[in-house]
Structure 1
Amino acid sequence: MIGKGKAISHTKASIEYGWNQEKDAEIVYKKNLAGETPKEITEEFKIIQSMNDKCERNTFSFVISPTIEDGKKLDLKDLNKITSEFVKDLKLENHQAIAFVHNDKNHKHIHLYVNRIDFNGTAYKDNFIGKRSQKTAEKVAEKLELQTVKQIKEQKLENLKEIRKYIKEKHELSFKLFHPENYQQYINQMRQFNIQVKPVINKSNQLQGFRYQLNNINLKGSEVHRSLSINKLKSKFFEIAKATLKQISITK
């Protein structure tokens, strides 16, 4: 199960999306609300939100996604339990909230909207709310014996065991045969094995690592093997450069 979360300002539009009947939406959770339509729910949110006019992104929007396999087994009672546990773990159980399940696709998922402002006019802190949502979904999945993100990743990597082995072997062969001294040489040499090596650049414009693509399979270096991490690669390039300088020194 995967959890996502963010603070938003467009409450009515989001609740309307959650209640979209074209997506075969059904209410699975409702707390501290009496309204029956997106407009009425939004107005109830606004009454409480008017107690704190400094907070602009005053609604939380969460998406809780069980795996496709788990989703097939879950009824409305189960989905209510998942949502209740999710809200409780984040300590938002005393806030106004409404959640819908979308049944229009194989991947059943929950859209949860929670008033960020409590009944005292205090805004719930949204620091790292995305990361906290992920961790909460993980905890709820474990508690309710559903598949966790970790288990999904482990299964994915197990299914790709032969491809990961092939990429690792060619990675090692590249260094053994060609002794690349920099990233570009390494990228060019891996291309000879039909493996596309793509740099991953972070927000600070720094090289964070590489992704490895073989046919339509795309994996992070750490997913292939820990020896393909950026620090391990840096160490290899340093060793090659050091050996090259030593050879030049001996020749002279």
Structure 2
Amino acid sequence: MIGKGQSISRTQASIEYGWNQEKEAEVVLKEHLAGETPKQITDEFRIIQSQNDRCTKNTLSFVVSPTVKDGKNLNHRDLEKIAQRFIKEMGLKNHQAIGFVHKDKQHTHVHIYANRISLKGEVYKDSFIGKRSQIAADNVAKQLGLTRVREVQQQKLQELKWQRVTIKYLNDRVLETRPKTLDDYIQKMNARNVKVIPSINKSNQLQGFRFEYQGANLKGSEVHRSMSGSKLIAEISQNNSYSKLKEVPKTLKLVNTTVQLSTNMASKIAKDLAKQVIKRGLDAGMGMGY
């Protein structure tokens, strides 16, 4: 089961979407609410939201999605349990909330809208809400015996085992040529029919790489743990000069442009570079002893 979450300002429009009868919508959650229409629910939200008018994105929007297989076997009561437990896991029991199940596609899923302002007028902290939603959904799946994200991921990786093995093999052969830049590495991988796709966020920060090969599209860490973005950059960086191993570059040249490193990426690279310095020192020490 997968969970997604974000803070929004389009309260009524979002609730109207959730209540869309064309999507065979059914109400599976109603907390601290009495209204029977999107407008009535929105008005009730706004009464509470008026206690804190500085918060503009004052509604929380979540989508909780069981796997297709699990969804086919879930009845109305099961979906109510999923919504209720998700709200509890997110720490929103003291907030107005409404949830709808959509069955318009093969994939049954639940839309939940919660007031970001609690009944006491407190603002719910939405930092890392996407990640927290994933964890909450995984916890609910574990509690209810549903398929968890990691199980789906493991199955996917197993099905793509031969592509992963081949990408790793080609990666190792390219690294043996000691590419000195990311562009050089990417070009050499492309020449071996592996497309390397940089993952760059809206702030122009490099977060990692994806690899496309024979119908597979995988994060580097899904191919092999040694192929995470931080480890690749650390290894390619050391091909320039030994002295640079002590420094983490703030920016990198990539496909005729300059990109920044995300804070998380820079931190991981620093750790990987430190490990490589230690390893080289140990290897050199062992070599001198013979």
Letter in 2 for 1:165: V
Residue number in structure 1 paired with 2:227: 228
Does 2:93 align with 1:93?
A: yes
Report the Cα distance in structure 2 between the residues aligned to 1:174 and 1:242, rounded to whole angstroms. Answer: 19
Shift of 1:92: 1.3
Does 2:197 align with 1:184?
A: no
* Percent identity between the two aligned chains: 55
Report the Cα distance in structure 1 between the residues aligned to 2:202 and 2:84, rounded to whole angstroms. Answer: 35
- What is the DSSP-based 3-state SS (H/G/I as helix, E as strand, rest coil) of the residue aligned with 1:213? strand
Deviates more, 1:188-197 or 1:8-17: 188-197
5+ long unaligned stretches in structure 2 = 243-290
Could you report, residue by residue, the CA deviation over 1:171-220 in whole angstroms, capped at 9, with x for unpaired residues? 122234x4423222222221222111122335564543322111432111
Letter in 1 for 2:227: L
Matches within 5 A, 1:71-86: 71-86=71-86
- What is the DSSP-based 3-state SS (H/G/I as helix, E as strand, rest coil) of the residue aligned with 2:17? helix
Residue number in structure 1 paired with 2:18: 18
Residue 93 to residue 181, structure 1, CA distance change in 2 (3 Å)? same
CA contact (8 A) 2:8 2:61 kept: yes
Letter in 1 for 2:73: K
Residue 231 to residue 125, structure 1, CA distance change in 2 (3 Å)? closer
Q: CA RMSD in A?
A: 2.0
Report the Cα distance in structure 2 between the residues aligned to 1:30 and 1:4, rounded to whole angstroms. Answer: 19
Residue number in structure 2 paired with 1:124: 124
Does 2:172 align with 1:198?
A: no
Report the Cα distance in structure 2 between the residues aligned to 1:63 and 1:35, rounded to whole angstroms. Answer: 22
Residue number in structure 2 paired with 1:237: 236
Residue 20 to residue 185, structure 1, CA distance change in 2 (3 Å)? same
Letter in 1 for 2:226: S
Report the Cα distance in structure 1 between the residues aligned to 2:226 and 2:119, rounded to whole angstroms. Answer: 52
Residue 41 to residue 201, structure 1, CA distance change in 2 (3 Å)? closer
Could you report, residue by residue, the CA deviation over 1:136-166 in whole angstroms, capped at 9, with x for unpaired residues? 1111111111111211111111110000001
Residue 124 to residue 179, structure 1, CA distance change in 2 (3 Å)? closer
Normalising by structure 1, we get a TM-score of 0.88
Normalising by structure 2, we get a TM-score of 0.77
Size of the alignment, in residue pairs? 242
Shift of 1:64: 0.6
Residue 167 to residue 118, structure 1, CA distance change in 2 (3 Å)? same
Residue number in structure 1 paired with 2:145: 145
Runs of 4+ in 1 over 6 A off after TM superposition: none
Shift of 1:52: 2.3
- What is the DSSP-based 3-state SS (H/G/I as helix, E as strand, rest coil) of the residue aligned with 2:183? helix
The higher-RCO structure (CA 8 Å, 6+ apart) is 1
Residue number in structure 1 paired with 2:108: 108
Deviates more, 1:84-93 or 1:225-234: 225-234
Report the Cα distance in structure 2 between the residues aligned to 1:163 and 1:28, rounded to whole angstroms. Answer: 41
Residue 229 to residue 122, structure 1, CA distance change in 2 (3 Å)? closer
Matches within 5 A, 1:13-52: 13-52=13-52
Report the Cα distance in structure 1 between the residues aligned to 2:6 and 2:70, rounded to whole angstroms. Answer: 24
CA contact (8 A) 2:163 2:214 kept: no
Residue number in structure 1 paired with 2:156: 156
Report the Cα distance in structure 1 between the residues aligned to 2:74 and 2:82, rounded to whole angstroms. Answer: 10
Report the Cα distance in structure 2 between the residues aligned to 1:161 and 1:199, rounded to whole angstroms. Answer: 22
- What is the DSSP-based 3-state SS (H/G/I as helix, E as strand, rest coil) of the residue aligned with 1:175? helix
Deviates more, 1:203-212 or 1:41-50: 203-212
- What is the DSSP-based 3-state SS (H/G/I as helix, E as strand, rest coil) of the residue aligned with 2:127? coil
Shift of 1:239: 5.5
Report the Cα distance in structure 2 between the residues aligned to 1:124 and 1:231, rounded to whole angstroms. Answer: 33
- What is the DSSP-based 3-state SS (H/G/I as helix, E as strand, rest coil) of the residue aligned with 1:81? helix
Report the Cα distance in structure 2 between the residues aligned to 1:63 and 1:231, rounded to whole angstroms. Answer: 31
Report the Cα distance in structure 2 between the residues aligned to 1:148 and 1:208, rounded to whole angstroms. Answer: 25
Residue number in structure 2 paired with 1:57: 57
